[in-house]
């Protein structure tokens, strides 16, 4: 299925039903009094985070979503029935913004989370509501209130622990295939990956993390060149970035250091916070480098790249060096999770205060 990470929709909650003007008519009851009921509430529009979805493609072809209006009030003290609600299933990680103002309204970050994105209008009052000691035969009623109508933009940012960076053909798809259950397309030409791929890496019983592979970046990606710029947003929620570098390019004229620096520059131009995320260097395709030359080539690359962070040497094709890298990633992700889940200490002097 084609990956769609952006869509525009129009939603309309149901209008409330109108109130009713009616009087009680029974034999021998000349002045039965008012008995017009209220209108029913209009249907709400809900959004639910469905962990079984990973694309917004359904909303690309189904743009208009309307809830039912409430029924009108009736005589004999009968209120109108509420309109039927509708629930829109969206992938976890969906951001809902106002298409006109750009204001972020909601974020669906927890599987099963349900939010109300448009409220139905309340029903109007029937004439029985206006009965009083001086107005025993009221003929007033009110119409139903209109439901909320919104033009929304849906944007999907995948929720992954680790994101893969690199030039086209650096071996990202081969790596995610080697370590996870993802099976992206792999070929010996650039831009094989056309949409993000998610893979779950199993480290042990109940021990796993999620890896996201996006299309390869090229120089000028932050200004729109290539494909990867469309999907850089999916790396903004990751805890760790793996910068995968092809240490044995087919063309001898290609300098891996220059390519790696170009990726870092594009990352910095796109988002400073993304640039500041923890980033590890993964030197790939060592199986294509003679054993006696590996150490010298790695040392030369790290020195010219002026890299001082963690370095891992692997071959995604033969899975050489992948196991230590996986365990190191899992330890890092666990540590990040512990930091996020640590309770915030509150000064006991302010523990009972309620902010104004």
In this predicted structure, which of 1-5, 16-20, 97-101, 215-219 has the lowest mean pLDDT?
1-5
Judge whether residue 163 has pLDDT over 90. Answer: no
Fold assignment, 162-341: Rossmann fold (3.40.50)
Residue 87 has pLDDT above 70, yes or no: yes
| Contact between residue 20 and residue 142 where contact means Cβ atoms under 8 Å apart | no
Contacts of 48 (CB under 8 A, 6+ apart): 87, 88, 89, 90, 108, 112, 113, 114
* Domain locations in the chain as residue ranges: 6-156, 162-341
The single residue listed with the structure tokens 């995948």 is 158
Query: Is pLDDT of 148 > 90?
Result: yes
pTM score of the predicted model: 0.60
Mean pLDDT of 315-335: 88
Q: Tell me which fold the domain 6-156 belongs to.
A: Spo0b-associated Gtp-binding Protein; Chain: A, (2.70.210)
Residue 257's contacts (CB-CB under 8 Å, 6 or more residues apart) are: 301, 304, 305
* Rounded-to-integer distance, Cα 318 and Cα 42, Å: 60
């Amino acid at each position: 299925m084609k990956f769609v990470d952006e869509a525009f929709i129009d939603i309309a909650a149901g209008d409330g039903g109108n109130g009713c003007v009616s009087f009680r008519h029974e034999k021998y009851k000349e002045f039965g009094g008012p008995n017009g009921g209220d209108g029913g509430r209009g249907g709400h529009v809900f959004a639910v985070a469905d962990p079984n979805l990973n694309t917004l493609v359904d909303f690309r072809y189904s743009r208009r979503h309307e809830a039912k209006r409430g029924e009108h009030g009736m005589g004999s003290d009968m209120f109108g029935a509420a309109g039927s609600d509708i629930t829109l299933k969206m992938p976890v990680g969906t951001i809902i913004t106002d298409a006109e103002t750009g204001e972020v309204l909601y974020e669906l970050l927890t599987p099963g989370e349900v939010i109300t994105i448009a409220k139905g209008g309340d029903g109007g009052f029937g004439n029985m509501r206006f009965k009083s000691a001086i107005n025993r035969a009221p003929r007033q009623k009110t119409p139903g209130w209109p439901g909320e109508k919104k033009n929304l933009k849906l944007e999907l940012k995948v929720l992954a622990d680790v994101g893969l960076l690199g030039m086209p053909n650096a071996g990202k798809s081969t790596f995610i295939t080697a370590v996870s259950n993802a099976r992206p397309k792999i070929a010996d030409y650039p831009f094989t990956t056309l949409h993000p791929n998610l893979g779950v890496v199993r480290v042990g019983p109940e021990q796993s993390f999620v890896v996201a592979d996006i299309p390869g970046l090229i120089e000028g990606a932050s200004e729109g060149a290539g494909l990867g710029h469309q999907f850089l947003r999916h790396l903004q929620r990751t805890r760790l970035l793996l910068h995968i570098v092809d240490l044995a390019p087919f063309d001898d004229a290609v300098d891996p250091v220059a390519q790696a620096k170009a990726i870092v520059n594009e990352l910095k131009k796109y988002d400073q916070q993304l640039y500041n995320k923890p980033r590890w260097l993964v030197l790939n395709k060592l199986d294509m480098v003679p054993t006696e030359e590996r150490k010298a080539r790695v040392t030369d690359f790290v020195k010219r790249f002026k890299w001082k962070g963690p370095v891992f040497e692997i071959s995604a094709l033969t899975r050489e060096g992948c196991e230590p890298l996986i365990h190191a990633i899992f330890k890092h992700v666990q540590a990040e999770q512990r930091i996020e889940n640590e309770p915030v200490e509150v000064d006991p002097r302010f523990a009972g205060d309620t902010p104004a």
